[in-house]
Amino acid sequence: MEKSNPKLKLAVYWASACGGCCVSVLDVHEKLYDILSAADLVFWPIALDTKYHDVEEMPDKNIDITLFNGAVRNSENEKMARLLREKSKILVAYGSCAHLGGIPGLANFSTKEDILRRIYSECESVINPEGKTPLPEFEVDEGILDIPEFYNDVRALSQVTDVDYFIPGCPPQTERLLEVFNLIVAGAELPPKGSVIGAENKTQCDECIRKRTENKRIKKFYRPWEINDDGVTCFLEQGVLCMGPVTRAGCGYRCIKGNAPCRGCYGPLTGVTDPGAKMMAAIAGVVDEKDPEEIRKILDDVVDPAGLFYRFSLPVSLIRRKIE
C-alpha cells in the first residue's frame, strides 16, 4: 500500500488587529474540511486551547505554515512573532496589519504618552483622578501580575522578524488564501521568498470596469457622501479620492463594485516604497489648476490626507510616525 503524505501543521496567530483576518480564515466555510484533511491546526488561540508554553516546547520548524495577522503593538505581539518565526518553516504576514502596519499603525501619528493620556485621563467615560496607567508589572496579594508592555511604535511583522510571504488585504479574500494553501499542499514551486502572494502586481484601476478618460482633470474633491455617485464613472473623475491607482489588485475590486472607493488595503505594487507619496503624486497630476492659490483651495477639500493616504501603510512608509 502506498504511504500517504503526512499532514501539514498549520498555525494562526492574532496580534494587534480587529479579528477580521481570523474571520476570513473561517470564511472558507465547507472548504475547511479540505484544509483539515491536508493540515492539522496546532495553534490558533481563538479556536484551540493551546497555550504559549505548548508552542515554546515544540521543536524548531515544527509548524509548516503560520498565518500571522495583526501588527506588532506590544511586547506580547513581539514575543510571539519571534517565537513563531523559530517554530515555523513558512511565516506569512497575513492581512494589511501584519503586511504594512494597517489601521493600528495610524496610532504612530500619536505618541505612547498621547494615547495613554487620552484613554486613561481625558476620555469622557473614564473617572481616574489619580491618572493611573497600566504597568508591565503590578504586585497583588496572589503575586505579581504581568501585562504586555505597550510600545511607542506600531510595527509591521517584517520590521520585527524575518517573513517568508505576504498576503495582503483587510482582510485578505478567502479565495486567495485557498489558492495559496492549495499550492503549498500540492508541493508546487512557490514564488521567491519575500513575495506578495494571493494578489496581482497590477493596480486596481487595471481591473476596474468603471469608465474613465485618459486626461482626467479635477477642480474639486468630495467625500463620498457629498455626491450622488452614478455607479459608472471612475471615482476620481467624479472628484472622490480613490486609492485604486496605487493599490495592488487581487481583491476583485469589491469595494468599488459596492460603490465605495478603494481604501488601499492591498498595499502598493512591487517597487513602490511609499504608497501615500505615490498617491499624492497621482493627485497632483490631475488637479485642473495652475495658480498655486487655487491649487491650495482644491487640496483643502481633502479631509485628513495623512489618515487617507497612509490608512494602511504608515509604519512602513518613509515618514513612519509622528516625530516630537
pLDDT in tens, 254-276: 999 999 999 999 999 998 988 88
The b/e string for 240-258 (b: 16+ C-beta within 10 A; e otherwise) is: bbbbbbbbbbbbebebbee
Check: CB of residue 248 under 8 Å from CB of residue 196.
Answer: yes
- Adjacent-strand bridge partners of 74: 150
3-class SS string, 230-259: CCCECCHHHCECCCHHHCECCCCCHHHHCC
Residue with the larger pLDDT of the pair 206 and 299? 206
| Model confidence pLDDT, tens digit, residues 159-176 | 999 999 999 999 998 888
Say how far apart CA 321 and CA 107 lie, in whole Å: 8
Q: Could you give the count of Cα atoms lying within 13 Å of 288 in the half-sphere of its Cβ? A: 11
Say how far apart CA 103 and CA 109 lie, in whole Å: 11
- Adjacent-strand bridge partners of 67: 12, 92
Say how far apart CA 67 and CA 70 lie, in whole Å: 10
Q: How confident is the model at residue 183 (pLDDT cuts 50, 70, 90)?
A: confident
Strands 8-14 and 63-69: parallel
| Model confidence pLDDT, tens digit, residues 192-242 | 999 999 899 999 999 999 998 877 788 889 999 999 999 999 999 999 999
Sign of CA dihedral 158, 163, 165, 168: negative
Start-end of H helices in the chain: 20-26, 32-38, 52-56, 75-87, 96-100, 112-117, 174-185, 204-207, 254-257, 275-284, 292-299, 305-309
CA dihedral 17, 18, 19, 23 (to 10 degrees): -120
Name, in order, each residue with C-beta under 8 angstroms of 101's C-beta and a sequence gap of 6 or more: 71, 108, 154, 155, 156, 312, 313, 314, 315, 316
Say how far apart CA 165 and CA 194 lie, in whole Å: 5
Check: CB of residue 230 under 8 Å from CB of residue 299.
Answer: no
**What is the grid cell recorded at 113?**
504618552
| Model confidence pLDDT, tens digit, residues 45-89 | 988 999 999 999 999 999 999 999 999 999 999 999 999 999 999
Report, as an integer, the average pLDDT of 25-54.
Answer: 88
The residue ranges of every structural domain in the chain are 8-103+152-196, 110-150, 204-316
Task: Quickly count: other Cβ atoms within 10 Å of residue 281's Cβ.
Answer: 12
CATH classification code of 8-103+152-196: 3.40.50.700
Least confident of 28-32, 113-117, 134-138: 28-32
Angle at 199 (CA atoms; ends 40, 167), nearest 5 degrees:
40
The number of angstroms, rounded, from the C-alpha of 217 to the middle of its chain's C-alpha atoms is: 31
Note the pTM of the prediction, 2 decimals. 0.90
Q: Could you give the count of Cα atoms lying within 13 Å of 80 in the half-sphere of its Cβ? A: 26
Of 42, 33, 38, the residue nearest 4 (C-alpha): 38
| Model confidence pLDDT, tens digit, residues 289-298 | 777 887 788 8
> For 30, left (φ over 0), alpha (ψ -120 to 50), or beta?
alpha
